[in-house]
Chains A and B, each alone.
Chain A
Amino acid sequence: MSFTHEVTTIVEQSLAIVFAVLVIVLALRRQPTRRRISAVSGLVVAAAVIVLAAGQVQKGIRQLRNTRKTGVSTETGRTACLAELPPSPDLFTVRIPFSLWLRTQMRAGDTYTLPSFTRPPDQLCLYLVLLPALPAVPGERPTWTIAFGSIGPAMRARIASHDSAVRVYAPGFAIQADGQR
């Protein structure tokens, strides 16, 4: 579709309405005075609009019915973004369950970092799901360090030394308590 084609369509439709008004005024065998044009245009446009509106309402009801069918539970609705990116093999088996598990580990006011994060899901979606825990701002000491996709050398060393502050959920996915709660 080109710009000229689209604009021509709009202009043609507009002119069709104006032309219909003028034809009706002339068909009434009256001088097309400004007042007559105004009066007839009101009626013609109103009629056209009512017909269009009737169709739109019908389509609207159909759309509402379809919208209703896509309804989910509150919890599923909040975490729906987790499955939006192109899935990885472990998305449904590890990544989403791990994200939901993380929520049970952290409390309001806790902060976390994601030093070795890999998608999916994307970080903004994960931030939403993990609220009220918050992503720590740079320079802030977080309450938690989360390994999401791969575990860094420091956390790996702590896991090897059986540090109770680190809990491994699955290979590549773990959480480490860092600060005061």
Chain B
Amino acid sequence: MRPVVGFIALQGILLLAGFGLLRGLGLADRGSRTIPGALGAALLLGTSAVILGLVILLVLGVQFTLLTALLLAIVLAALGFWRGRRSAQPSQSRAPPSVLAAIAAAAAAAYALYGAHAFDRLATVQDDARIWSLKGVALTDYDNLRREIFLSPFTYASHHVYPPFQPLLEALVNRAMGRLELSFFHTELWLLLIATVWAAAYLIWWRTRRPRLEQIAIAAPVVLITTPFVIASIATGYADITGSALLAVGTLTLGLWLEGAGDGHLWLGAILLAAAANTKDEDTIGAFLVLLALGVMIAVRGDRSRLRGWAGGCATWVILVAPWRVWTAAHSLTDPVQPPLPHALSPVFIIDRWSHLQSAATAIADQVVTTWSWQVSIFLAVCALALVSGTAARLAGFYLLSFGLLIASLLWLYATTSTSLAFLIPTSVYRTIDLFMVLTLFASAHILTRLLGTWDLALFRSPRRATSG
């Protein structure tokens, strides 16, 4: 019983830190009414901020203990609540939820709980055992980056340079539960995925009075994330879906900022993208490219004040991402999968590997159609319709640019790596495409809500009836 209590208590602490930070960023209103809606965003932000803080402390040589994590969470919560004590608005009084909404919420909660139950007894196998949980258990048993695991040539195959977000989260869960509970960590990953879905819906709906039809239309594409493939991915315990979900919500948050939301969205986006960048190497490049795409969209518009904000967001992201990269550079750590830099950036080098590029492109396209199929078509159609109609054209441009850059980065990684593609493609493409595919769901939901916002029956009434009415 005690492990489960510890697990729930940890979620409570992370939620507290997340709520504080949301309040500090001006993304949650005062009062209890805002709490249910903001639960997902709070868990996501709390987890991201606490683990990012722990990464920095660990690299600086501070011992990783449960007490350190608790103190960090409390400090973050206190700072957030203190900063938001004046700026946060009281929650707007709203009509009580309808019976339909209550049933939908209960069904969603039951689905989430059933998933948590389904994932709590899974075996630790494949790369999860050899990369993520190996480091996670080492961080559970020891309070520092033990050289026998994180630096030894004997553990080279566990990819020393891979960022420690997921192993640290796994260790934190184990410590909170009071013992090693590797199988239970899949439940944590599931909750994090549910939190991303919840957070996306909250961020799109927040402080808007959307009609119910529109809300359902937003929720549905986000629900598509729970495809059987994603569920299978969580069952493996790999970090791909964790990083991709963080990257996708971070990008969505920046999309909201691009269309005029407050600066709190920008800082939230920077934190989530930093968390993604601390999860997997592909996400580090992906987060950088998303920030680049945002900069391009702002520069095209020539909005100088937003450009300054963007620079601040980028600086925050760099500060949060740099510690781990500095640590790996300081220990001269390399990885067999990483492209050989700087040669890999040369066009001649890439052209020389044209056959690799073709193989990777075919494998990626095949996986997208096989496992995600209509999701990518819906995203492209929604973007095309937004561009044609002029509604949310800039938003569609941002998401399309990010999508294109993420695909290009993945192709570049596969084309330039010195690891054999005969091994790499069948063992990784099916999950690395999450990098850009999860984004398509949140982006579709966001653009769709803008398209639905233009609905007006009067547009389709006959002129005579319209004037007489």
> Are A and B associated in one complex?
yes
In whole Å, how far is B228's beta carbon from the nearest beta carbon of chain A?
A: 4
Per-position 1/0 for B129-162, Cβ under 8 A of A: 1110110011001100011110111110110000
Q: Which of B78-86, B116-124, B322-330 lines the interface with chain A?
A: B116-124
Among the stretches B52-60, B214-222, B241-249, the one at the interface with A is: B214-222
A134 interface residue per 8 A CB criterion: yes
Residues B183 and A77 in contact, CB atoms below 8 Å apart: yes
Say how far A12's CB is from chain B's closest CB, in angstroms: 8
A128 / chain B contacts, CB cutoff of 8 Å: 124, 129-130, 133-134, 137
A interface footprint on B406-449 (CB within 8 Å = 1, 0 otherwise): 00000000000000000000000000000000000000100010
Beyond A49-B444, A127-B155, A131-B141, whether A77 also contacts B121 by CB under 8 A is yes
Question: Which of these binds chain A: B88-96, B308-316, B385-393?
Answer: B385-393
B115: which of A48, A64, A78, A136 is its contact (CB, 8 Å)? A64
In the complex with contacts A49-B220, A53-B220, A127-B149, A78-B180 CB distance below 8 A: yes
**Are A46 and B119 interface neighbours, CB within 8 A?**
no
Task: Determine how close the nearest CB of chain A comes to the CB of B138; give it in whole angstroms.
Answer: 6
B455 close to A39 (CB less than 8 A)? yes
Q: Is B9 in contact with chain A by the CB < 8 A criterion?
A: no
In the complex, A52 Cα to B379 Cα: how many Å?
A: 13
A144 to chain B, nearest CB (A): 13
- Considering the chains assembled together, what is the distance between the CA atoms of A18 and B133 in angstroms? 45
Task: Considering the complex, give the chain B residue whose CB is closest to the CB of A48.
Answer: B378
Shortest A35–chain B CB gap in Å is 6
Interface residues of A in 112-161 (CB under 8 A from B): 122-125, 127-128, 131-132, 134-138
> Complex formed: what's the CA distance from A5 to B147 in Å?
48
From B142, B213, B224, B382, contact of A53 by CB (8 A): B224
Q: Which residues of A contact B147 (CB under 8 A)?
A: 137
Which of A7, A10, A42, A138 is the one whose CB lies under 8 Å from B217?
A42
B388: A residues at CB distance < 8 A: 18, 34, 37
Tell me whether A36 is interfacial, beta carbon within 8 Å: yes
Please give the distance in Å from A36's CB to the nearest CB on chain B. Answer: 5
Taking a contact as CB atoms under 8 Å apart, the answer to whether A42 and B224 are in contact is no
Q: Nearest Cβ in chain B — how far from A97, in angstroms?
A: 18
CB-based contact B451/A42 at 8 Å: yes
* Secondary structure call for the A interface: helix
> With A10-B380, A46-B452, A74-B183 given, is the CB distance from A59 to B228 under 8 Å?
yes
Q: Which chain B residues lie closer than 8 Å to A41 at the CB level?
A: 382, 385, 389, 451
Q: Is the CB of B460 within 8 A of A30?
A: yes
* Selected contact of B226 from candidates A18, A28, A56, A124, CB within 8 Å: A56
**Are B146 and A77 in touch, CB under 8 angstroms?**
no
Interface residues on chain A, number (Cβ under 8 Å): 70
**Shortest distance from the beta carbon of A23 to any chain B beta carbon, whole Å:** 13
Shortest CB distance A141–B (Å):
13
Does B355 lie at the interface of the complex (its beta carbon under 8 Å from any beta carbon of A)?
A: no
Partner of A38, one of B138, B149, B390: B390
B459 CB-CB contact with A under 8 Å: yes
The one of B129, B362, B378, B452 in contact with A42, judged by C-beta atoms closer than 8 angstroms, is B452
| Per-residue interface assignment for chain B, residues 238 to 275, with 1 indicating a CB less than 8 Å from any chain A CB and 0 otherwise | 00000000000000000000000000000000000000
Q: Which of B190-231 contact A (CB under 8 A)?
A: 213-214, 216-217, 220-221, 223-224, 226-228, 231
- Mark contacts of A7-24 with chain B using CB atoms, 8 A cut-off: 1 yes-contact digit, 0 otherwise: 101110111111001000
Verify A49–B134 contact, CB threshold 8 A: no
- Give B101 Cβ to nearest chain A Cβ, in Å: 16
Instruction: Decide if B87 is an interface residue (CB 8 Å cutoff).
Output: no
A79 to B9, CA, bound (A): 27
Query: B residues near A, CB below 8 A?
Result: 111, 114-115, 117-126, 129-131, 133-134, 137-138, 141-142, 146-149, 151-155, 157-158, 180-184, 213-214, 216-217, 220-221, 223-224, 226-228, 231-232, 235, 358, 361-362, 365-366, 368-369, 373-378, 380-382, 384-386, 388-391, 444, 448, 451-456, 459-460
Spell out A's residues near B (CB within 8 Å). Answer: 1-3, 6-7, 9-11, 13-18, 21, 28, 30, 34-39, 41-43, 45-46, 48-50, 52-53, 56-57, 59-65, 67-68, 70-74, 76-78, 80-81, 84, 108, 111, 122-125, 127-128, 131-132, 134-138
A-B contact pairs, 23 of them (CB 8 A): A17-B377, A17-B381, A35-B391, A38-B391, A39-B451, A39-B452, A39-B455, A45-B448, A46-B213, A46-B214, A49-B220, A52-B220, A52-B378, A61-B114, A63-B228, A68-B118, A72-B121, A72-B122, A74-B182, A127-B154, A131-B137, A132-B142, A137-B148
Known: A6-B366, A57-B111, A137-B152. 12 other contacts (CB 8 A): A52-B374, A59-B227, A60-B226, A60-B228, A67-B119, A74-B182, A77-B183, A78-B124, A81-B130, A128-B130, A135-B149, A135-B154
Q: Nearest 8 CB-CB pairs, A to B?
A: A71-B121, A13-B377, A42-B451, A46-B217, A38-B389, A80-B123, A6-B365, A17-B381
